[in-house]
Amino acid sequence: MTIQDYVAIATSVFTLAGVIFVGWQVRQMAESILLSRVQNQHLLCFEVWKQYNDVFADRQQLLQDPIRLAALRERCPTIDDVVNSDEYLRLKRAAGVYVLAGALIEAGAISPSEIFKYISVPRRMWNDHLPLIQYLRLNYYPDLWVHWERLVALPENQWTVTGLQTLDKH
């Protein structure tokens, strides 16, 4: 073998080593990005969970004693009165957590399977308040709490087994 052959073999070995090193670095970067995404997802889920816990009393009260539209309308004749009522504000606080979770899922920031490890989204609460939600959508804001509606309807939501009522609009 000539010196040129040895140089060619050495060049090939160094090129192969360089390619292996670059491939390893790319793999490490990809794993790092994936790990960062998973960590960010869990941080977002944890933030939703903290807000979920902050409205625990509201959620419990809404589950135990749902807001009845007829009784609320009797006490609050105008839409402004309804929107300014303590009952609506309680529901708004609880719904806000579900809206946030649904929006994060829709944006792709978290996966549905992960959020349901942190919070429960009872279908019963949605169903119990659907008449009020329909009234508010008709008279106040047409897209009110659509992220909550989508969140409760996700197939990953296995917290309750009761049927789900949705609005025909979507």
Tell me what pLDDT residue 169 has.
46
Asked if 165 contacts 130 with a C-beta cutoff of 8 angstroms, the reply is: yes
Nearest 5°: the CA angle 151, 114, 137 is 15
Q: Where are the domains of the chain?
A: 38-153
Prediction pTM value:
0.76
In the chain, the amino acid numbered 23 is G
Per-residue pLDDT of the chain (170 residues; tens, 9 = 90+): 788 877 888 888 778 777 776 777 777 776 666 666 767 899 999 999 999 999 999 999 999 999 999 999 999 999 999 999 999 999 999 999 999 999 999 999 999 999 999 999 999 999 999 999 999 999 999 999 999 999 999 999 986 554 445 554 44
Q: How many residues does the chain have?
A: 170
Contact 152, 111 (CB under 8 A): no
